[in-house]
Amino acid sequence: MKLILIMIMCLSPSLVLSEQMVMTSDGQVVRLKDDHTWEFVNTSGDDGKVVFSISEAKPKVGWYKKKDDLDEFLHWFVYAGCVYNLTVENKTAFKVKVKSIEIDTGIKMYESAYARSFSFNEVLKPGEKLPPAITVEPGRLFDGDCVFRYTTGPDGKRPTVNEIGALVTLIGRVDKMNPRYRYGNGYLWKFLEIQLREDRVIPWQSINQRIQNILRSENGF
């Protein structure tokens, strides 16, 4: 099952594009060019789109006690639904910032249909795909700061090589934007390099000074 969203969405001021995509009221996609001309875009297939995919869907059933205002038991409340894992992939030629997507079942439960919002809040370069186990939240340390979380799920699954690689890349990208880091993502690079070369797990606190000395000697400051 695949959800396809055609867009250039949620672009920050630093990501100014020479072209934009818009959708007409009848569903046709139009490319607005920087020379003030436009053209219809062929939307067959996934190329040129930001693609959201449901990579996994599991049924979920739960229940809890419903009580009155005096904390007396009334009845059991039983609910049933699905747990979704989503992936998002940038198949456009541009950087895009994906904030969130909402899935609406269309099935009315009580007064309204049930909907679930998934947050990403991450800039994806062309061809990048964000694994479903990784979520991104805005940070507070500087403009563009992000916090990354890895969710193992109820079964405690181990991270895949792709997920580890994605986390390292995303963390290194944020380090490059951090004005307090004089070496950008160089610290992370050296931290990983030392552990892989020596083939042992080393807490960063144990080799912090060692990494700092290496970076100073290589950069001259």
User: Which pLDDT band, with edges at 50, 70 and 90, does 21 fall under?
Assistant: low
Which of 204, 178, 200, 203 is CA-nearest to residue 212? 204
Proportion of the chain above pLDDT 70, given as a percent: 73
Q: Is residue 143 part of a domain?
A: no
What residues contact residue 149 under an 8 Å CB cut-off, 6+ apart? 134, 135, 136, 137
**Interacting residues of 181 by C-beta distance below 8 A, sequence separation 6+:** 175, 187
The tens digit of pLDDT for each residue in 85-132 reads: 777 888 888 888 777 777 665 555 544 444 555 666 667 888 888 777
Assigned domain for 162 exists:
no
Asked if residues 181 and 197 have their Cβ atoms less than 8 Å apart, the reply is no
Q: Reply yes or no on whether the pLDDT at 158 is more than 50.
A: yes
Give the best-scoring range by mean pLDDT among 96-100, 122-126, 151-155, 208-212: 208-212
**Is residue 87 included in any domain, yes or no?**
yes
pLDDT top residue among 138 and 189:
189
Say how far apart CA 17 and CA 32 lie, in whole Å.
Answer: 11
Inside any domain, residue 200: no
Mean pLDDT estimate for the chain: 77
Q: Is the pLDDT of residue 164 over 80?
A: yes
Helix (H, G, I), strand (E, B) or coil at 63: strand
Residue 167: inside a domain: no
72: phi > 0 → left, psi -120 to 50 → alpha, else beta; which?
Answer: beta
Q: Is residue 145 part of a domain?
A: no
Q: What is the mean pLDDT of residues 158-166?
A: 85
For residue 33, being part of any structural domain is answered with yes
Q: How many domains does the chain have?
A: 1
pLDDT digits (tens, 9 = 90+) for 32-77: 887 888 888 776 777 888 887 777 777 777 788 888 888 888 888 8
Measured in residues, the chain has a length of 221
Position 194 in a domain: no
- pLDDT score recorded for residue 78: 81
Containing structural domain, residue 106: 1-130
Work out the percent of the chain whose per-residue pLDDT is above 90. Answer: 19
Residue 190: pLDDT over 70? yes
| 108, 142 contact by CB (below 8 A) | no
Burial 25-48 (b: 16+ CB within 10 A, else e): eeeebeebeeeeeeeeeebeeeeb
- pLDDT computed for residue 186 by the predictor: 94
Q: 3-class SS at 94?
A: coil
How far is residue 120's CA from residue 137's CA, in Å, rounded to a whole number?
7
How far from 116 is each of 39, 84, 112, 152, CA to CA, in Å?
A: 35, 9, 12, 20
